[in-house]
């Protein structure tokens, strides 16, 4: 019998990768925690998600993460994983990436194995694709969640192109509505790809505030969200603002004053 623990943060969007499979995101210090227990007493992989709202308790992602780690090391597929989170589900603040990362870290901790951090992230990405909770695998979101800072990635190749340490106050607007990535109209999102590529080039040049703002207006148009929260933030001198992921949350980088 052994136990392991892990945690991973939420994240906000700079560039949503759905249109082009290239993305950028930044870590936000809100956390998901995972606890894993392994032992011969378990008949298979069991899971539980602690939520304030009990209407969304789909455990397929965290079970698949645990399964992939155990398979990687040829271990019996028996154990229990429990997660709890400060990140609202379906908010666009990367709750799925955080849950996957935390579960992978906790499972590795339980079996006493160290793994290259990018390889660990890729296990969670594979699980997200296997269970259909992500369209691109969200390698950008997963890297931001695990590594912090601002990351820029190629999600088609699961390659980290750049990571930049950046400290900023972050303003987050979280509506009561939920929006799940798997329900996104991908064809509409891909119509804006040429202009998302322009935003991506701004991100590569580390002009993150400009990149995220252009990204926000583009995806608000494609996914039929009102850009009003972005405009309100910009009116208050936010340095950059965007729709986070596929919404409904918005994030802004601000100076505290």
CATH of the domain at 9: 3.30.230.10
Same domain for 158 and 191: no
Q: Mean pLDDT score of the chain, rounded to an integer?
A: 94
**Across 81-90, 133-142, 145-154, which has the greatest mean pLDDT?**
145-154
Same domain for 122 and 172: no
Same domain for 184 and 125: no
Mean pLDDT (whole number) for 13-42: 96
pLDDT of residue 26: 98
Same domain for 232 and 144: no
Same domain for 171 and 151: no
Q: Which of 143, 163, 183 is the last residue of a domain?
A: 163
Mind listing the pLDDT tens digit for each residue in 170-215? Answer: 999 999 877 676 667 888 989 999 999 999 999 999 999 999 999 9
Same domain for 171 and 153: no
pLDDT of residue 52: 64
pLDDT of residue 54: 53
Q: How confident is the model at residue 246 (pLDDT cuts 50, 70, 90)?
A: very high
pLDDT of residue 178: 74
Same domain for 177 and 70: no
- What is the reported pTM? 0.94
Same domain for 149 and 227: no
pLDDT of residue 181: 66
Mind listing the pLDDT tens digit for each residue in 205-232? Answer: 999 999 999 999 999 999 999 999 999 9
Cα 37 to Cα 56: distance, rounded to the nearest angstrom:
23
Same domain for 31 and 133: yes
pLDDT of residue 137: 86
pLDDT at residue 55 greater than cutoff 60: no
Mind listing the pLDDT tens digit for each residue in 38-48? Answer: 998 898 999 99
CATH number at residue 242: 3.30.70.890
pLDDT of residue 25: 98
pLDDT of residue 40: 86
Domain limits at 172? Answer: 167-254
Q: Which of 163, 188, 222 is the last residue of a domain?
A: 163
Q: Which of 115, 141, 163 is the last residue of a domain?
A: 163
pLDDT of residue 136: 83
**Across 57-61, 132-136, 150-154, which has the greatest mean pLDDT?**
150-154
pLDDT of residue 24: 98
Same domain for 131 and 104: yes
Number of domains the chain is built from:
2
pLDDT at residue 28 greater than cutoff 60: yes
Using the 8-state DSSP alphabet, how is residue 137 labeled?
-
Same domain for 113 and 157: yes
Same domain for 118 and 188: no
pLDDT of residue 182: 62
């Amino acid at each position: 019998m052994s136990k392991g623990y892990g945690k991973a943060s939420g994240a906000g969007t700079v560039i949503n990768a759905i249109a082009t499979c290239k993305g950028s995101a930044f870590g936000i210090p809100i956390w998901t925690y995972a606890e894993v227990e392994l032992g011969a007493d378990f008949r298979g992989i069991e899971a539980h998600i602690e939520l304030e709202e009990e209407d969304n308790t789909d455990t397929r992602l965290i079970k698949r993460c645990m399964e992939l780690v155990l398979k990687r090391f040829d271990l019996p597929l028996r154990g229990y994983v429990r997660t709890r989170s400060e990140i609202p589900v379906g908010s666009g603040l990367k709750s799925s990436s955080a849950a996957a990362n935390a579960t992978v870290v906790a499972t590795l901790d339980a079996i006493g194995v160290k793994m290259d951090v990018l390889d660990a992230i890729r296990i969670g990405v594979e699980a997200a694709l296997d269970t259909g909770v992500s369209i691109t695998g969200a390698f950008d979101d997963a890297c931001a969640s695990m590594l912090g800072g601002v990351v820029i990635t190629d999600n088609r190749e699961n390659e980290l192109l750049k990571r930049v340490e950046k400290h900023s106050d972050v303003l987050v607007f979280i509506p009561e509505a939920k929006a799940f990535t798997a329900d996104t109209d991908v064809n509409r999102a891909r119509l804006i790809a040429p202009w998302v590529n322009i935003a991506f080039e701004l991100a590569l040049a580390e002009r993150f505030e400009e990149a995220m703002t252009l990204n926000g207006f583009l995806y608000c148009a494609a996914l039929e969200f009102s850009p009003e929260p972005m405009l309100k933030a910009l009116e208050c001198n936010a340095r950059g603002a965007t729709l986070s992921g596929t919404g409904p949350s918005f994030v802004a980088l601000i100076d505290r004053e």
